[in-house]
Structure formats: C-alpha cells, structure tokens
C-alpha cells in the first residue's frame, strides 16, 4: 500500500507564525495536488502543552534557539509554538483534509520534545504510528511537510528503521535551514531514501 504522511503543516510554522519556516505556505497546494495518488493519507500535528520543556519562555534567563541538555541529549529551545487547542496548532486552513484517515499528535509530554512522527526524541514513548501503518498494510511511505530538516527528517529516519520503503517529496516540503539541509539530504540518500518531486508520483 502506498501511503502519504504529511508532517506538521500547521499555522505556527507558516509565515507570520511563531516559528515560521521560510515559504512554508508554498507547499500547501502541492500537497493538495498529490493526495489522490495514495491509498492512505495520514497527517501529524505538533501538540504541545503550555509548559513544554522545549519552549525558551519556560526557562529563566534563556532565549529562543539556545541549547540545553534534556535527559542527556541536546535540546534546542524554541519559541512557544503549536500549543494544544490554539489557532497556531491548527492545520493550515487551505489543506484539503477530507481524505486524511488519521491525525497523529506528537510532543504532548511536557518533559521531552518529539520531532519524529513515530517517537519522542529519547525514543521513550511511541506514538503508535508505525503499528498503525503496518496494520493498514503500508509498504511504500511518502513523506512531506515541515520542516524538512527537523520533523520530516527525524520521521524519515524512524520510518526507515521501522522497515518502510521511504520517499521524500522535496517540493512538498520546506526546511527551516536550507544550507544545513543539504547535508541532511545526503544522509537520507545514504539511508536508501528516494528523493522525488511531486510530478513524478
């Protein structure tokens, strides 16, 4: 089965949001245009409590994009974003979501961040997504969304580890740091991920 996994296409990651990905809004029509090519469409949402550990505002004397240690791992401190129940956490209004069979929420535990759609950053808690996709019969997994260099990449990494044949849809995704993403693309290719364009689906 051919599945599309749409990562975090949420208002706070759009231009004008609290943690904007450059040109993040440009991917919305691309995603809408490819959805009918898939047997299954699933999306994710960052869904943080207000007191989330990744928010710089929750650490006295710290600023956005500072780095701390959490559970022995480096943690970037982000602007407050995608707080549960807020407009910023909602999926972009222009996304055509009627075909989405499920939406998996991540980052719900206040004490650890969760970039991947499959696990938190410490691999302590599963979202259940891998089991869901396998039960549905997913073999080919196509990933896109925001941001390419963070949540999309970590989701791809875990998807490969889970045994899925993975495809990254480049023009249906945007990176927070385009320069840094060049090296990440090389890592994905080395992992066996196919880099494709929406027109080739």
The active-site residue, picked from 151, 158, 166, 174, is 151
The active-site residue, picked from 46, 82, 106, 166, is 106
The active-site residue, picked from 8, 12, 113, 158, is 8
Residues 6 or more apart whose CB falls under 8 angstroms from that of 63 comprise 56, 77
Whether 94 is catalytic is: no
The Cα-based distances of 64 to 58, 113, 149 in angstroms read 10, 15, 18
How many C-beta atoms lie closer than 10 Å to residue 160's C-beta? 16
Whether 166 is catalytic is: no
- Is the four-CA dihedral 105, 107, 35, 2 of positive or negative sign? negative
Spell 102-128 as b/e; 16+ CB within 10 A means b: eebbbbbbeebbbbbbbbbbeeeeebe
Q: What residues does 70 pair with on adjacent strands?
A: 73
Residue of 177, 48, 165, 49 whose CA lies nearest to 115: 48
Whether 8 is catalytic is: yes
By annotation, the residues acting in catalysis are 8, 106, 151
């Amino acid at each position: 089965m051919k599945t599309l996994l749409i990562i975090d296409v949420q208002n706070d990651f759009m231009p004008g949001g609290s943690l904007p990905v450059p040109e993040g809004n440009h991917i919305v029509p691309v995603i809408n245009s490819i959805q009918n090519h898939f047997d299954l469409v699933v999306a994710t949402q960052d869904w943080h409590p207000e007191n989330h550990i990744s928010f710089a505002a929750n650490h006295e004397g710290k600023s956005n994009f500072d780095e701390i240690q959490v559970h022995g791992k480096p943690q970037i401190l982000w602007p407050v974003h995608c707080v549960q129940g807020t407009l910023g956490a909602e999926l972009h209004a222009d996304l055509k979501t009627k075909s989405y069979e499920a939406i998996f929420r991540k980052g719900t535990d206040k004490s650890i961040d969760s970039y991947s759609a499959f696990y938190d950053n410490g691999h302590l808690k599963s979202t259940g997504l891998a089991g869901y996709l396998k039960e549905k019969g997913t073999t080919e997994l196509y990933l896109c969304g925001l941001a390419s260099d963070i949540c999309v990449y970590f989701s791809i990494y875990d998807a490969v580890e889970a045994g899925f044949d993975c495809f990254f849809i480049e023009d249906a995704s945007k990176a927070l740091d385009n320069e840094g993403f060049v090296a990440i693309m090389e890592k994905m290719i080395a992992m066996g991920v196919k880099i494709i364009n929406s027109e080739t689906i």
